[in-house]
Amino acid sequence: MSERRVYLDHAATTPVLPKVIDVVAATMATLGNPSSLHASGRRARKLVEEARESVAASLGARPSEVVFTSGGTEADNLAVKGIYWARRAADPRRTRILASAVEHHAVMDPVHWLAAEQGAKVEWLPVDHSGRLDTAALRRVLDHDPDSVALVTVMWANNEVGTVQPVGEVVGIARQHGIPVHSDAVQAVGQVPVHFGDSGLDAMTVSGHKAGGPVGVGALLARRELDLVPVTHGGGQERDVRSGTLDAPAVAGLAAALRAAVADVSGHAAALAGLRDRLVDGVTREVPDAIRNGDPAHVLPGHAHFSFLGCEGDSLLLLLDAAGIDCSTGSACTAGVPEPSHVLLAMGADPALARGSLRFTLGGTTTADDVDVLVRAIGPVVERARAAGVVNVSNGGK
């Protein structure tokens, strides 16, 4: 009999919903390339277009605004690079990219690449100690030579600490200067209301596996009037901006997942928030000096992020893993060397404290028992991690 595990890493990936599995399994038997003109191709195309209409309805968009991709990373690359190239081609002065300092690497790395290889001038917009964008700073930056700005990109909600960004205010500020805005909404869909049309955004990224759907499928919602230069070239599918044969079963699964995700956002959010508060109360009771990160007034209902004094995040994660609990660290590991999270550093956290962080994220399968298992484990785990740190220091780090 397999060990029961407590899964508290829904921000990394979510369990595929049973109804989505059924949809994907059923549609995988449909033969045909959606770009073919014969009857089999038309059947496959019908699946794709029905999925497109469903995704649009779920997210408050027009079907013609839905561009299917292989996931959030591809959609972010298409948005950031595609908008930048199109805007710069229309006016060579437009070389500036404004991005929040806490973006996911799916946005941050393409921006860095454009700076290194394409002559972009990047300005990282500051956030406050809770990870929320400083919109006054955005106003100041845009007031200085707005005609040179190609785009603004600000995520809807942060993947690490869960802070929800003032996207509407960002759009309002940028619109005064006619500058397009992109937002990575991967973490937000299904946890807070997300309506592309009402948001005023020019482009928005979503991903299937963050919302109970399959891995390997997502979408970029892009206004029809938005010019995008393709990142990949080939058959000219998806408005000529995303070539490649579409995976009809995957997009059908994405559509089914998003329908479920938005069916009762307020009820789902309330349930998650109740469990999250139970977790936060329990962790702070068991580890009184634990520091909760993020903005409690503007946070995703399923996110709880903590820093633990005197601990290494990797040690905490492995100790919890051994106890049957899955979670995530607040740090990235590059070439085997732990680095503090760029998100926490942008929030002003001490690098040593940032390295001792954990992210707990809840979802539709999370129960009160799951939370209680973590609460019982966290105190002893932190004690062991701190003891290990003391030993390592006393041994000169060996």
pTM of the model: 0.94
**Centroid of chain to Cα 23:** 24
**Catalytic residue chosen out of the listed positions 270, 333, 390, 391:** 333
The Cα–Cα gap between 308 and 91 comes to 49
- CA–CA gap between residue 216 and residue 244 (Å, rounded): 13
Query: Tens digits of per-residue pLDDT, 124-175?
Result: 999 999 999 999 999 999 998 999 999 999 999 999 999 999 999 999 999 9
Would you place residue 4 in the very low, low, confident or very high pLDDT band (cuts 50, 70, 90)? confident
The single residue listed with the structure tokens 């599995």 is 21
CATH 3.40.640.10 in the chain: give the residue spans: 18-262
333 given a catalytic annotation: yes
State the Cα–Cα distance between residues 34 and 208, nearest whole angstrom.
20
Within the chain, all domains assigned CATH 3.90.1150.10 are found at 264-394
Q: What residues contact 350, with CB distance under 8 A and at least 6 apart? A: none
Per-residue tokens: 350: 């001490």
> Bigger pLDDT: 43 or 334?
43
Three-point CA angle 177, 183, 186, nearest 5°: 175
Cα 124 to Cα 322: distance, rounded to the nearest angstrom? 38
Topology of domain 264-394 in CATH is Aspartate Aminotransferase, domain 1 (3.90.1150)
How far CA 29 is from CA of 24, 47, 125, 211, 247, in Å, comes to: 9, 12, 48, 24, 12
Contact, 164 vs 184, CB < 8 A?
Answer: no
Which CATH code fits 18-262?
Answer: 3.40.640.10
Predicted local distance difference test score (pLDDT) of residue 230: 96
Average pLDDT over residues 101-108: 98
Average of per-residue pLDDT across 40-66: 97
Residue-averaged pLDDT of the chain: 94
Q: Which of 71, 26, 73 is nearest to 47 (CA)?
A: 26
pLDDT confidence bin for 396, thresholds 50/70/90: very low
Q: Could you give the CA distance from residue 42 to residue 33 in angstroms, rounded to a whole number?
A: 8
CA atoms of 329 and 340, how far apart (whole Å): 10
In this predicted structure, the answer to whether residue 191 has a pLDDT above a threshold of 90 is yes
Tokens standing for 298?
């503007």
Q: Residue 330 above 80 pLDDT?
A: no
pLDDT, one tens digit per residue, over 231-267 is 999 999 999 999 999 999 999 999 999 999 999 999 9
- Parallel/antiparallel/unpaired status of strands 96-100 and 149-153: parallel
Among the residue ranges 58-62, 210-214, 389-393, the one predicted with the least confidence is: 389-393
State the pLDDT confidence band at 398, using cuts at 50, 70 and 90. very low
Give CA–CA dist 23/292, Å, rounded: 39
CA 19, 25, 29 angle in degrees (round to 5)?
145
Q: Which residues pair with 189 in a beta bridge?
A: 192
* pLDDT(337) > 60: no
Q: Residue 331 pLDDT > 60, yes or no?
A: no
CB 387 within 8 A of CB 380: no
Greater model confidence, 240 or 397: 240
